[in-house]
Amino acid sequence: MNAGVHVDGARISCTYLSLKDYISTAYRMKIYQISGPDWIGGERFDIAATLPAGATQDQIPDMLKALLADRFKMTFHRDKKDFPVYALVVAKGGPKMKESPLEAEEESAKPVTNVTASGGRGGVNVNYGRGSSFMFADNKFVGTKLAMANFVETLARFEDRPVVDMTDLKGNYDFELVFTAEDYTAMLIRSAIAAGVVMPPEALRALAGSSGDSLLNALEKLGLKLETRKAPLEVLVVDHIERVPTEN
């Protein structure tokens, strides 16, 4: 599986993203703040479009809002909900990660954004551009020039509740987390469930064999820890959305 977003000047290509991903981008909300039919997290759609003359990348979210309303007939309302969350905080003694600045942007007459992801049985690789990336494979998570915001958003996909960044760390970091095979398998299963995949009973039973301790231990070595808290967060509730978009 390969997925990603490529914006080169006026041309936009989005590949193999779910409607939850598009809604998240359009309304600048995290995946866990979006509630709706299960299938909006699992079924995938490609979008290819050209920005109107004079439009900028900052206007892409508003254009996605229009597309969701026009092509998918999406209606929604906003609400507030108390979430049990994991707060990622800096442990006593401070962070123990190597700070690694992003690579310089290439000089170009037109702005380019290129975020790509690939995944399969061997694991997941995500490239954010400018040298920033992560790999989740072989019982470990390896981050390169990774911002805490991207790390927390990714970590939330592998956990049983939202993860909120409360580290106040503004840099980009190189680090590695190593997990037990049981915890690694459980994280993969949770990410599949979050994406709307219906898992067989055998997979769900495998969750019971995971303690999650190896994640906590790995974070401790980085000078980080997860704390269980409750937080009121805004949610976007999808009231209606068509499974098949209207024709161009």
* This prediction's pTM: 0.74
Residues 202 and 107: their CA atoms lie apart, in Å, by: 52
- Report whether pLDDT(107) > 80: no
Residues 101 and 72: their CA atoms lie apart, in Å, by: 40
Would you state the structure tokens that stand for residue 56, as one six-digit string?
């900028």
pLDDT digits (tens, 9 = 90+) for 159-197: 888 899 999 999 999 999 999 999 998 888 888 776 666
pLDDT digits (tens, 9 = 90+) for 183-234: 998 888 888 776 666 677 777 777 777 788 999 999 999 999 999 999 888 9
pLDDT of residue 195: 65
| Structural domain includes residue 64 | yes
Domain count of the chain? Answer: 1
Q: Which residues contact 191 (CB under 8 A, 6 or more apart)?
A: 157, 158
| Structural domain includes residue 245 | no
pLDDT digits (tens, 9 = 90+) for 75-93: 999 999 888 999 999 999 9
| Structural domain includes residue 247 | no
Domain interval for residue 19: 2-240
Q: What is the mean pLDDT of residues 53-79?
A: 92
| Structural domain includes residue 192 | yes
Q: Answer whether 97's CB lies under 8 Å from 174's CB.
A: yes
